[in-house]
Structure formats: C-alpha cells, structure tokens
Structure 1
Amino acid sequence: MAGQILIADDLSLNRTVLRGKLTSACYRTITANGGIAALALARSHKPDLVLLDYHMPDMDGLAVCQELRADPKTRDIPVILFSATADHGHRLSALAAGADDFLAKPLDEIYLLGRIRSLLRSVAHRDEWRLHPNTALQAGLAEAAGAFVVQPHLSLLSGQPDASAGWLSTLAAIWPEARLTGTSVANALGLDAPEQAPDLFVISPEALAISGLHVIAELRSRSATRHSEICIILPPAARANAAMALDLGAADILTLPLDRAESRLRLEKIIAHKQLADAQRRTLESQLGLAAFDPLTGLHNRNHAVTRLSRTITQDQGKFALLLIDLDRFKEINDQHGHNAGDDILQQVARRMQTDLRKSDILCRYGGEEFLLAMPNADLETARHVAERLCARIADDAFQLRNSDTRLTVTASIGISVHGAPKHPLTGEMLNQLLEASDKALRSAKLTGRNRVVSAQANVLA
C-alpha cells in the first residue's frame, strides 16, 4: 500500500499543488489547513510522513513538530518542514525541533520526492520490527532510547590525498568528540568484516567526482559496509544529484558551504538512526541464538540439532552414529524430590556428557529427560565406546542437589544406530530410520535392565 502523507499548510493553493504532485507519485494524502488540525490528524491517522509549513497562524510548524516528537504515539513519524523563509535560523530551529529535513519554497519536486522515498524506506524497515509478534525483538527499539553514542566513528572518503586533511579538519570542527579516520574508496570497498567499517561514511565532493554516485550503491551492497550509514557532501552546482544519492542509499546530504551547527544536527540524526538499527540487529541475533538452545541445559534444542544433522548429512558421507540417551526412572526423581531437583539433575548430566566429546559431535536435549548425540564419521565400535563412557560418567558419581544435602545416583540407558556409508549415502529419509532404530534400541536397553547400551541390529540399517 502506498504511504500516507499528511500535508499541513494554511494556504489552500499550496495544499492543492502539493497534493497533486504526491498523488501523481501514487501517494495517499490527507490535508490540514493549520497546525492544530495537523496535530489532531497526525494523532488520529498516524500518517507515514508529515509535510509541515513552517508559518501557520494558529500553530506554526515548529511547534507542531515539537508536539509530535513529545508524543510517544507520533514521535517516530518523519517530518519535513518547509518555508518561504530559508534563513540559517529557520533551518537550525527546524532540525533542532526534530524535523528530518527542512526545505525552502518553492519546493524542488525531484529532491522532495527523493527525500520522501528515503524516509518512507526507513519507516517500512522500522515497522517490520514494531509489528513483529516477538516482543523481545521490539525491545530492540527501546534499547535505542538509552545513552547516545558519544564517540561515533566517521570515515571520510576523499579522492585526493591532499584534500583529506582539510576535510578531516572540517569534520573535527563540526563534531570534536567523534572518532575520525580517512580512507580511499578502494579501501572502503575492500573491507573484509563489519567490525572494520565505521558508523558513517562521509563522502567528499572529490571522491564523488572520481567514483560517481554509484559508490553509494557499492557500499550498500558489500557485506562489510552495508550497515554503515552514508552522507555525501555536494557543492550547490551538483544539488541535482541529491535525489539520486538518496535513492541509492545515502542517509542525508550536506551542501557546501558547510554550516557547522546544521551539519552537526544532521550527522547526529544519522548516527541516532544507526544506533536504533544496530540495537534491532543485536536483539535479533540474540533471539536467533536463544531459539537454537534449550534454556535449561544450554545444549542445542531438538529443532536446531535436526537442522544441523540435515546439513551434515549433505556434507559428510562417512559412517554416522546416532545415540539416544534416556535417564532411568527420572519420573521418580521429580515425584520424590520435586521438579527443581529434576532440573538440577538435567543440567548436571548435560555438563558431564559435554566433557570430552569431539568438536564435530552434536549433543542436544531431545525432549524431557532424553538426549540425542550425533557422531559423524563414527563406526559402531567408536559409538559403543562413547556410549559406555557416557553411562559411566552419569552413574559413577552421585549428583549433589543444590541447596540440599541430598545426593542422588542416576543412571542412563542408551540406544545406538550406525549408518554404513559405502553402499548407502545418508539421506533425510535414512536419518528418520536411524532415529527410529536408535529409539528401538533404547527401549530394548530399558526392558533388559537399564543402565546399559544396546545397538540396533544390522538388518535395520541395511
């Protein structure tokens, strides 16, 4: 669905002209004839973007922007302020009030549409998180409300070595607290890892003259630099390139001659946006990691283990052993000593089994008191030796319960199945057969006395 844009201007002709331009660009619009009406519509309709005239008789655009930023329901809506008075004070006041940009009338239609597209892309990305059903992922949004990054890393891209010192001096005057480095376009595109990339690339006019605007797209496409923000410096004569730069992925444009205060406000907004995006990614990575592990034992969970097994199957055609390990009479522990005691035993058993497994082995909590151990490149003799050692590790020393003098002796039964690679490459279907065979062998171990190892019969795996 096209983005909805609120247009606020006290002059009917201005609203009509803007509405026509945006409708032609396939945006939906709503209009307000003053600041008070604009504020009410923003709160009731929650548009994707707001275009505000600076001067309106009932409530000027600056006050409306400040009110929008103060309201949690509207604070993240992008705002563009515009005015026929484009002096230094108006620009700074607009940006300081939280506007995403300030434009002078008559509005440059090409730049305006480019800026709208850029801001709406950010809105769409943000809303993917806000609408996610996982509340922990949404918490990544709240993380950005914390302390601001006091020393962001800004890297200047300059096409001429002798110009770098001058630009770095200029950036140091704009943001003295920032960490500033200089590099070439080639070096920036050759970075190997995200941790080597800066928070923000500032591209000088000389670099743009040599490399062209496509350097923005190149930085956006590389895995090492795609999460870095990009800001370009343009001379007034090249202002026509601004819309294309935004479409290619630049976060903002600084126009020569640089105004220190305005440039600082724009750079701070870029870094704040990156801080939010970084918080979202950290939260996502954390959640993906948690999704792969059993929270009680710290072992991989069943789903992750099966996924790893399937991947290993396609990469490894050697012999492959599957061990199902089940704690004996575990229900009696829960019934007699409580579920906290049972959880304590499961945690300790997991730690004991992890002691000397190979790096290639995959150990997971399969469910309840049952564990799965997958052993690539292991024949029956090797698997049986490991299984017997695990039985001994579990049974030989009694388990000390936390906050108690109670010590419990626990045993385990293990069922083994082994796939012989030379004649039968391991497939997903064979994996299911191995699991069924291990389960059958485990049941046999239980029925014939517990605390023992039983392997599946050879014809099960033929």
Structure 2
Amino acid sequence: MAGSILIADNVPTNRIILKVKLASAYYDVTQAPSGAEVLALARRMRPNLIILDMDLGDMTGFEACAELKSDPVTTHIPVAIITPAQDKEAKIAALKAGADEFLTKPLDELTLTARVRALMRASATSEELRRRNETSHALGFNEASNLYDHPGKITLIGSTTEEAMSWRAGLKGMVSDQISIERADHLLEAIYHGDVADLYVISAQAGGSSDGLRLISDLRAREQTRNAGIVVVHGAQDRKEALMALDLGANDLITRGADPEEMTLRLRTQMRRKKDADLLQMTLDEGLRLATRDKLTGLYNRHYAMPHLEKIAAEAQETGQPYALMLIDIDRFKAVNDTYGHAVGDAVLIEVAERLRDNLRGMDLVSRFGGEEFLICMPMTSLMEARMVAERLRSAICAHPATVTPEGIPVTVSASIGLAMGGTPGGRASATDRLLDIADQALYGSKADGRNQVTLGGSCAA
C-alpha cells in the first residue's frame, strides 16, 4: 500500500465514496463513523493521514482536529478537513483548528489524490521526526531545539512586484517571520549568493506564462533550497497548473485572491514543517556523529575508521601513492588509572587526542581504536615523512604533562608507536587487516624495547 489513511464522516455513503477514490490509488483506508471513534483509531493506528468531514455526528471535524493536534501521540499526523467550496469561514476555522489542509466539496479525484500525495510527503517527515524524538528520549537525550524560537524567512515572488507587495501588506502584523520580495528572474542569482529563505511563495505566472512552475523544479534541484517550503499562488480556474505544482514538489497551494488570514495560517503550517525538516536533518547529523565519533575524545571511532581505512588503501592502490598507518598506545596507562583514578585517566586520553589532532593534517584519519590505543592513517605520505610525523607525535605526547590531578600533581605520559607503510610504488598493496597486524607487531616491538619510541614494521610494503 502507498500509505494508510483514516477517514471520518457520520454519513456512510460519503465514507464509501471517499474510500473508493482513495483505494483506487492503492491507499489503505480505514473508516470511522464518529469523532470518538476516529480519535480512538488514530491513537491505535497512527495512520499517515486523517481526513475529517465537518460533521462527525458527536462532534465537529474542527473539534476532532483540535483534539488530535493536542494529543502527543497524534499531533504529528497530517489532518485534512472537508469543507463546502464557498464557505470561507469554514476554511479558516479548519486551519485555526490545526488542520494541515482543507478539501472542498465536491471532491474531484485528481485534485484529491494530488493533495493526498503532498500530505503524505509531509507525513513521512513528521513520522520520522516523531520516531527519532522517541528514540532520543528513550536513550536519555532530552535536548530541546530552539529552531522554533527564531523567526524564519519568507520570500515572495509575485507575477508582478505589485502583487508581491500586496501579499506582504496582507501579511503585515500577522506573521513574525522576515518577509522579502524577489523578482523571478533574480531569484536563482540571489540563492547563489547565499540569500536563502525557509519558505517561497510563488505565483504560478511569476516571470510570465507558467515560469513560476519552473522555479519549483529549480528550487528542488538546489541543495540550499531542496527542503524549503514552497507555496504556489494560482488562478481559481487553473486546475491543471495547480496539480502540476504539487507534483513538481510544491508543499501547498493558495488560490489567487484568498483571504490574508488563510495565507497567514498556511504559511505558519509550512514554516512549522520546514523547521521540522531542519530538526530532522539535525538529528540525522547528530546521529551520524554519535555513530562515528568516540564520545570521550571526539575522535572517529573504530566503526568509522575501518571502512575509511579500506577506502584510503583502495585509492592508494589505484594511484600508486603510499600511505602510512600508525598504532599508538599510551605507555603504562593502567597505572595512571590505578594511581589517580579514571577521571584523571579520561583527562589524559582527551589531551592526547588533542595533541594528535594538532600535529596532523586535516586529510589524515585520527581515531580512537580502543582503550588507550589510537590509529592514524596518513594518505599520500612517504616513509620518510611518516617517520618524521611519528617522532613528532611521540614527542608531543610526552613533552609536558597531559593533565594535573585535583591535588596539583602533574601527570606526564609517553606513547609507543608502531608504523607500517602501504601502497608503496613497486610493491603490492597490503590488505588493511594485514597492514594492521604489521603495525601491531611494530607497536609490540616498541613496548618490548623500552616504550616511548617508534618502530617500523617489517615487510610493511610487501
């Protein structure tokens, strides 16, 4: 199925007709005959979309929508309310109740499915955000984003500057976001120079003819605006261009001449969705960081280092450029923990990690490989360069105390280093696991020979 939809109407015939229309597009449709039942089903099913009639028998669609949006379990589910075509008050009431959309009677099948597709896209983001928030709370992460506390930016692109100015005048005092006006033929240039908005309100005739629709594709194709909200203003009779706008990636439609209050409410909904999308991207980035970074030192962890090392090795084999691999182990680290405690040991690890970072290039891989052991991989590095860097790292670690205990005792540590070379021209590339074994044996040799030294692994370029 393309997604699950819960529909509610106290008239059985209306429910059946709507179900047939949606089922023909392969949506999984569940029916509810009353407001109480739709509320119960919504909590249990968590559908991708809820469509409510204005009259549910035991309550209005507006009341049901308000309850759905106030319930943490169902607040993220998009809701559409079916209203009479010419009832402006009902449309505004639907949006004020928290509805993401209103659908007007009679329900045209093409318009219905186009609107549903747009709402389903919004549902996917909301559902993923909900899922990640629940996971974060389960893991004890309760960080609250302040994205919603700051005004967003809205750019208006009318068919004429005068039209855009009339939109801005209607929105004045009704939205707290920054509003700017841009010409259609200057919009992409402005984005190129970094002038990017959260929402774009675009006339379908911006720039002449249907050029406004082309802007949708341009905005969706650019990284800076790929997730921006797009609202298209179209003529009342331009059904074809309106449906095309939704399928090109527009988030919402507004009929030209709509009440400023309607535009305000729709823009608020789209701004919330844009900030939801931004928050989702932040959680994705943070999830990637947590998955690939060592929590204590901030260095890459072993999970990240191994595939990255494989990539460096493969590129070295293709280019014939040598690369260096080092395993670094802090000498007598257990004694530090046993003597001063784990808090001091952690401080030593953090400082050693910082000294490693400070003495390597941005292109070099630096990772905590486990415990007090670190892995360094330096692409495009000769043996001579690698030995010089290894000695510099060894010296940097033991040059001065890594930390001072609460009692004022300086704690100085040294490190043993095992060095192996891969990708040397004239030799065959070593498999990374074999190269790691060579570096590990060299590290063992450094330890056996008295510690605090660099040992080059034998046959490291074989």
SS where residue 431 of structure 2 aligns? helix
SS where residue 166 of structure 1 aligns? helix
Alpha carbons 2:53, 2:61 under 8 Å: kept: yes
Unaligned runs of 5+ in 1: none
* Structure 2 match to 1:170: 167
2:426 is the alignment partner of 1:423? yes
Rate the CA distance shift 1:262–1:288 in 2: closer, same or farther, 3 A.
same
2:431 is the alignment partner of 1:437? no
Structure 1 residue aligned with 2:364, among 361, 365, 373?
361
Equivalences for 1:212-361 in 2 at 5 Å? 213-313=213-313, 314=315, 317-361=320-364
* Structure 1 match to 2:390: 387
User: Structure 2: how far apart are the matches of 1:444 and 1:144?
Assistant: 50
User: Percent identity between the aligned chains?
Assistant: 38
Measured after TM superposition, the shift of residue 199 of structure 1 is 0.7
2:456 is the alignment partner of 1:455? yes
2:71 is the alignment partner of 1:68? no
Alpha carbons 1:317, 1:421 under 8 Å: kept: yes
User: Structure 1: how far apart are the matches of 2:137 and 2:212?
Assistant: 37
User: Structure 1: how far apart are the matches of 2:134 and 2:38?
Assistant: 33
Aligned-residue RMSD, C-alpha: 2.9
2:201 is the alignment partner of 1:202? yes
Measured after TM superposition, the shift of residue 271 of structure 1 is 0.6
Rate the CA distance shift 1:367–1:134 in 2: closer, same or farther, 3 A.
farther
Rate the CA distance shift 1:49–1:144 in 2: closer, same or farther, 3 A.
farther
Equivalences for 1:130-209 in 2 at 5 Å? 130-131=130-131, 135-136=135-136, 148=148, 151-158=151-158, 163-176=160-173, 177-189=176-188, 196-207=195-206, 209=209
User: Structure 2: how far apart are the matches of 1:194 and 1:293?
Assistant: 33
SS where residue 117 of structure 1 aligns? helix
Q: Deviations over 1:16-74 (max 9, x none)?
A: 22222222222222223333333333333333222222134421111111111121122
Rate the CA distance shift 1:340–1:210 in 2: closer, same or farther, 3 A.
same
* Structure 1 match to 2:81: 81
Alpha carbons 1:144, 1:276 under 8 Å: kept: no
* Structure 1 match to 2:101: 101
* Structure 2 match to 1:413: 416
Measured after TM superposition, the shift of residue 9 of structure 1 is 1.9
Measured after TM superposition, the shift of residue 175 of structure 1 is 4.3
SS where residue 294 of structure 1 aligns? coil
Amino acid at match of 1:342: G
Measured after TM superposition, the shift of residue 240 of structure 1 is 3.8
User: Structure 1: how far apart are the matches of 2:68 and 2:99?
Assistant: 10
User: Structure 2: how far apart are the matches of 1:171 and 1:144?
Assistant: 32
User: Structure 2: how far apart are the matches of 1:322 and 1:412?
Assistant: 16
Amino acid at match of 1:181: S
Rate the CA distance shift 1:449–1:148 in 2: closer, same or farther, 3 A.
closer
Rate the CA distance shift 1:101–1:377 in 2: closer, same or farther, 3 A.
closer
User: Structure 1: how far apart are the matches of 2:293 and 2:392?
Assistant: 25
* Structure 2 match to 1:370: 373
User: Structure 1: how far apart are the matches of 2:150 and 2:420?
Assistant: 58
Rate the CA distance shift 1:388–1:219 in 2: closer, same or farther, 3 A.
closer
User: Structure 2: how far apart are the matches of 1:40 and 1:178?
Assistant: 36
User: Structure 1: how far apart are the matches of 2:423 and 2:111?
Assistant: 66
User: Structure 1: how far apart are the matches of 2:143 and 2:351?
Assistant: 35
Rate the CA distance shift 1:76–1:417 in 2: closer, same or farther, 3 A.
closer
Measured after TM superposition, the shift of residue 404 of structure 1 is 2.4
Rate the CA distance shift 1:104–1:358 in 2: closer, same or farther, 3 A.
closer
Equivalent residues, number: 455
After TM superposition, the score normalised by the length of structure 2 is: 0.88
Alpha carbons 2:156, 2:182 under 8 Å: kept: yes
Measured after TM superposition, the shift of residue 439 of structure 1 is 1.1
SS where residue 347 of structure 2 aligns? helix
User: Structure 1: how far apart are the matches of 2:7 and 2:352?
Assistant: 65
